[in-house]
Structure 1
Amino acid sequence: MYTLKKSLGQHFLTDENMCRQIVDALPVKEGQQVLEVGPGGGAITKYLLEIPGIDFKAIELDTEKVEYLEKTYPAIKGKLVNESILDAKLPFDGQFRLIGNFPYNISTQIMFKVLEWRNQVDVVVGMFQKEVAVRIASDKGNKDYGILSVLLQAFYKIEYLFEVHENCFNPPPKVKSGVIRLTRLEQPADIASERKFFVLVKTAFNQRRKQLRNPLKPLFDKEVLQDPIFTKRAEELSVADFAALSHKMI
């Protein structure tokens, strides 16, 4: 068997119906390239391995889990990458889809990795701590709407699919979980540049309670700052608003 490592944020899904539901949420067709992040004990891996005609790989940092998976599921031999997703290079040439019960302690960083890989990752199905899933899917005007919401929604359509009760895991986490699906937009937000857009969004939300004119002062000319939009707070702006502002930055 294997041991649970709290340092890696490991909580293993044991509810078989939930495992199937997560896998079913990922649309796949023959010839599709699919990457699973953090397979752990193989709860959803075994269902992914059953999908005919896909090119499957999994990435797992924990060497003990890699050895367990190779012994338990012989079909996974040669498909496992033993490293952190945060350090990984692109696992495929061309387009691929990503799925996982993401380690909660690095789930936000995984989403930034998805942004880095967005030209090749067209669909993501992931399980997160519920509050992170809600944050990613939140719209403007919501207290959960923030940096991650705007950056991801500029490039992906986000769907909050379903909640996963803590009793579906071993050991049960102290938080509820949520599964979301990201589908890359055919027409992403019209941003001036990734650098400008990221700086704008992060700067705006770092002082989210203040009118935008204060935190954004260094990024715009005085004349531009007279626009009434700068009397709003960050959470009142849509993704399209941020995209439009990125073109007016110094």
Structure 2
Amino acid sequence: MTLPSLRESLEAHGLMAKKSFGQHFLLDLNVTRKIVRLGQEGGNSFDGQVVIEVGPGPGGLTRAALESEATYVLAVEKDARFIDLLTELDTAYPGRFGVVEADALKVNEPALLAERGLPPQAHLVSNLPYNVGTPLLIKWLTGPWQPKSLTLMFQLEVALRVVAPVGDDDYGRLGVISQVLCVCEKLMDLPARAFTPPPKVDSAVVRLIPRAERPDARVIHNLETLTAAAFGQRRKMLRASLKALGGETLLAKVGIDPTLRAENISPADFLRLAEAL
């Protein structure tokens, strides 16, 4: 079956992007195919795997994921207006596609997969809505369900924070949590003009691959607490910003100079602090 273009599908259903949902559509299938291809490099193939996509909108990334060797693509869309349009993809890819109307922040991914008889793990691919990108990433990083990989598009400033090295101006809480739990890589930049309607900022695609050794839930919770305190007062020395969490005593336990600031502490050292807390 030959599918209409994404623009034709939008016009046929009388659909436009909704500002309240942070929607900016990527309608160039060459770009969406490149995102899916880059997400699979380095031995991270979707071949024989399940892919979950959040916020598919008109389905540009969805089509690219379905063109891959993934066995099944499950789309999670909050905007009910797009369900009928997306459901049409099942005709072109019978038995390989499903869509559920739900808020990804509240979704129980293992339950969604189990309901369809799919394995409990999946790769995540998404052009994330700008207004919920960071909360969704934190959910997937720190929650009980662990994706096999995450190929995600953010506004550029968020993408830079995810991959920023220690000491960089963009280095902060998001980068520490992301890098402790995953190997993070920025794959490509996308100018605002690539989207319909164009946002006010550029975007970038980041891939995160969970590390083989994952800290337990207690340590992850401690990491969230420590980074919130340390970067919440990032101009203060650690002995002051972490005072309520043990301050100099905690820092001495792991051999970290208490006069340093959060921006000078590597993800590995934040992990050691979280383990010691």
Q: 1:103-114 maps to which residues of 2 (within 5 A)?
A: 103-114=129-140
Q: Which residue of 2 aligns with 1:207?
A: 233
Q: Secondary structure at the match of 1:80?
A: strand
Alpha-carbon distance change, 223 to 149 in structure 1, aligned in 2, over 3 angstroms: closer
| Contact kept? 2:150, 2:207, Cα under 8 Å | yes
Query: Can you list the C-alpha shifts for 1:18-77, whole angstroms capped at 9, x where unaligned?
Result: 111111123234320110111001111112222345121010000111112223653378
Amino acid at match of 1:88: V
Q: Secondary structure at the match of 1:179?
A: strand
Q: Which residue of 2 aligns with 1:237?
A: 265
Q: Which residue of 1 aligns with 2:9?
A: none
Q: Which residue of 2 aligns with 1:180?
A: 206
Distance 1:221 1:132 in 2: 29
Deviates more, 1:19-28 or 1:120-129: 19-28
Distance 2:145 2:87 in 1: 31
Distance 1:59 1:121 in 2: 15
Q: Secondary structure at the match of 1:203?
A: helix
Alpha-carbon distance change, 248 to 25 in structure 1, aligned in 2, over 3 angstroms: same
Distance 1:222 1:180 in 2: 36
Q: Which residue of 2 aligns with 1:23?
A: 36
Q: Which residue of 2 aligns with 1:69?
A: 86
Q: Which residue of 2 aligns with 1:5?
A: 18
Q: 1:162-177 maps to which residues of 2 (within 5 A)?
A: 162-177=188-203
Q: Which residue of 1 aligns with 2:8?
A: none
Percent identity reads 36
Aligned counterpart for 2:157 among listed residues 131, 137, 146: 131
Matched, 1:44 2:72: no
Distance 1:197 1:81 in 2: 33
| Contact kept? 1:94, 1:120, Cα under 8 Å | no
Aligned counterpart for 1:88 among listed residues 107, 117, 129: 107
Deviates more, 1:119-128 or 1:217-226: 217-226
Query: Can you list the C-alpha shifts for 1:134-187, whole angstroms capped at 9, x where unaligned?
Result: 000101101111111011111100001110011111111110000110011123
Distance 2:231 2:246 in 1: 16
Query: Can you list the C-alpha shifts for 1:175-215, whole angstroms capped at 9, x where unaligned?
Result: 00001100111234689622222111111110001101111
Q: Identify unmatched segments of 5+ residues in structure 1.
A: none
Amino acid at match of 1:242: F
Q: Figure out how many residues of one structure are paired with residues of the other and give that number.
A: 249
| Contact kept? 2:50, 2:70, Cα under 8 Å | no
Distance 1:123 1:153 in 2: 13
Distance 2:137 2:181 in 1: 12
| Contact kept? 1:155, 1:184, Cα under 8 Å | yes
Q: Which residue of 2 aligns with 1:140?
A: 166
Q: Secondary structure at the match of 1:186?
A: coil
Alpha-carbon distance change, 163 to 76 in structure 1, aligned in 2, over 3 angstroms: farther
Task: Give TM-score, length-normalised by structure 1.
Answer: 0.91
Q: Secondary structure at the match of 2:226?
A: helix
Distance 1:119 1:89 in 2: 8
Distance 2:98 2:146 in 1: 19
Deviates more, 1:72-81 or 1:231-240: 72-81
Amino acid at match of 1:120: Q
Distance 2:256 2:143 in 1: 36
